[in-house]
Amino acid sequence: MARYDLLAAGKTFTRESLAAREPSLWRYSELLPLREAVNRVSFGEQFTPMVPMPSLGEALGMERLFMKDEGLLPTGSFKARGAALGVSRARELGVRAFAMPTNGNAGGAWAAYGTRVGIDAYIVMPKSAPAINKVECVMTGAHVWLVDGLISDAGKIVGKAVAEYGIYDASTLKEPYRIEGKKTLGFELIEQFAWNVPDVILYPTGGGVGLIGIYKAIRELQAMGLLEERLPRFVAVQAEGCAPIVRAFDARQTESTFWDGANTVAFGINVPKALGDFLVLEALYESEGTAIAIDDASILAMQRRIGETEGLFICPEGAATIAAAAELRRREWIAPQERVLAINTGTGLKYPDVTLPKLELLQPDATIRIETRK
Ligand SMILES: *Cc1c(COP(=O)(O)O)cnc(C)c1O
């Protein structure tokens, strides 16, 4: 993992100096692996909103429920953070082409950032990946293959290509820079909470890179004396159809084992065995956090409820974190006044296949009846 001279960085990386910089992930340059700013690959990334959820929070018994909405990043998911840094650093290293397995959003992001600077993307994804992700990769010029299997199978195929052609391996945690991009999510949320640590952070965990990244960000800020020593309690949220981290956490293990028959609507977290599982589990144990699995029906019901109460159309993975918060509140693991932050990792627009109820079809001369809410 990337390490920095925190003492040197601290000379210019201060609360005050940061506040005066552009509101984007690039503002954290001292703690990013890029040497030269000219190598930045950017679509104009901005800070993502920290959205309070007062209506739903009240209904669920949480007074301070927030959602950080990563669906507004370029390519519609927080994978843009990893791709922005990963591709920029690859460019700096002179990489001309990379290969990677993906469940969809990482491929979409890396293809876009890569193509922007003429780096070729070779992408293998499960044939069951969301259609939009396949379209994104194709439309941004990647070479795309589908595999009749899971992301782990895609990973094996990429591994063989890396061995045979020596192509740059952009798989999760096979290169150390993607996580540095995802780390900026942690810096950003701490700044948005005015340099306070939330009590609980819920993260939809597939490979777990985002969770590890937030944890690393907080640790670095603490080591620099910029943040109190307290950690937020991290919650790894998984789907019942694919919950290797939850199973390992419940058994107090330090590593997970492969989850057979992985299957969930929350495709971004359909990862049967994460390479960085031990790091995710370490963050959970160190922070006195937990891991919890949510079934698909509850995920989809919560996705709809979030839209109906807060007007946010988020992805199933993000909805799982709110469903998890509701369940942990029920179990009193979360107290009513605690500051609870759920991470929404992508926009709901990426998943047009969510069940659409039958809508009434009108003739052009029809009239409609409206009953307003009291
Ligand atoms: C990739 C992805 C995740 C999981 O992210 P990790 O950091 O790899 O655990 C969650 N949600 C969405 C929408 C994703 O694309």
- The residue ranges of every structural domain in the chain are 6-76+179-355, 79-169
Pocket perturbation via mutation, ligand 1, pick of 69, 105, 242, 321 by most ligand atoms within 8 A of CB: 105
Q: What is the pLDDT of residue 172?
A: 85
* Span 273-291, pLDDT tens digits: 999 999 999 999 999 999 9
Q: Is 204 in the pocket of ligand 1 (CB under 6 A)?
A: yes
Residue 372: which pLDDT band, with cuts at 50, 70 and 90? confident
Q: The whole model's pTM is what?
A: 0.96
Q: What is the pLDDT of residue 347?
A: 97
Q: Is 269 in the pocket of ligand 1 (CB under 6 A)?
A: yes
Q: What is the CA radius of gyration of the chain?
A: 21
Cβ burial 167-180 (10 Å sphere, 16+ → b, else e): bbbbbbbbbebbbb
Q: Is 294 in the pocket of ligand 1 (CB under 6 A)?
A: no
368 CA from centroid of ligand 1 (Å): 41
Residue with the smallest CA separation from ligand 1 atom 14 is 268
Same fold for the pair 6-76+179-355 and 79-169:
yes
Q: Is 45 in the pocket of ligand 1 (CB under 6 A)?
A: no
By DSSP bridging, strand 120-126 and strand 97-101 are parallel
Nearest to 323 by CA among 347, 297, 345: 297
Domain at 79-169, CATH class: alpha beta
Q: What is the pLDDT of residue 143?
A: 97
Q: What is the pLDDT of residue 169?
A: 96
Averaged confidence pLDDT in the chain: 96
Q: How far apart are CA 85 and CA 181, in angstroms?
A: 5
Residue with the smallest CA separation from ligand 1 atom 4 is 206
End-to-end alpha carbon distance in the chain: 56
Q: What is the pLDDT of residue 351?
A: 84
* Span 98-157, pLDDT tens digits: 999 999 999 999 999 999 999 999 999 999 999 999 999 999 999 999 999 999 999 999
294 CA from centroid of ligand 1 (Å): 15
Q: Is 108 in the pocket of ligand 1 (CB under 6 A)?
A: no
Identity at 67, one-letter amino acid code: M
Chain centre to alpha carbon of residue 46: 16
Fold of the CATH domain 6-76+179-355? Rossmann fold (3.40.50)
Order of strands, sheet of 168-169, starting from the edge strand that comes earlier in the sequence = 143-147, 120-126, 97-101, 168-169
Q: Is the pLDDT of residue 225 over 90?
A: yes
64 CA from centroid of ligand 1 (Å): 24
Q: Is the pLDDT of residue 327 over 90?
A: yes
Task: Match 């069940």 to its residue by tokens.
Answer: 355
Strand stretches in 71-193, DSSP E: 97-101, 120-126, 143-147, 168-169
Residue 301: which pLDDT band, with cuts at 50, 70 and 90? very high
Residue with the smallest CA separation from ligand 1 atom 12 is 268
- Judge whether 216 and 1 are in contact, CB under 8 Å: yes
Residue 352: which pLDDT band, with cuts at 50, 70 and 90? confident
Q: Is the pLDDT of residue 353 over 80?
A: no
Average pLDDT over residues 27-54: 98
Q: What is the pLDDT of residue 358?
A: 87
* Span 151-210, pLDDT tens digits: 999 999 999 999 999 999 999 888 999 999 999 999 999 999 999 999 999 999 999 999
Residue with the smallest CA separation from ligand 1 atom 3 is 268
Q: Is 290 in the pocket of ligand 1 (CB under 6 A)?
A: no
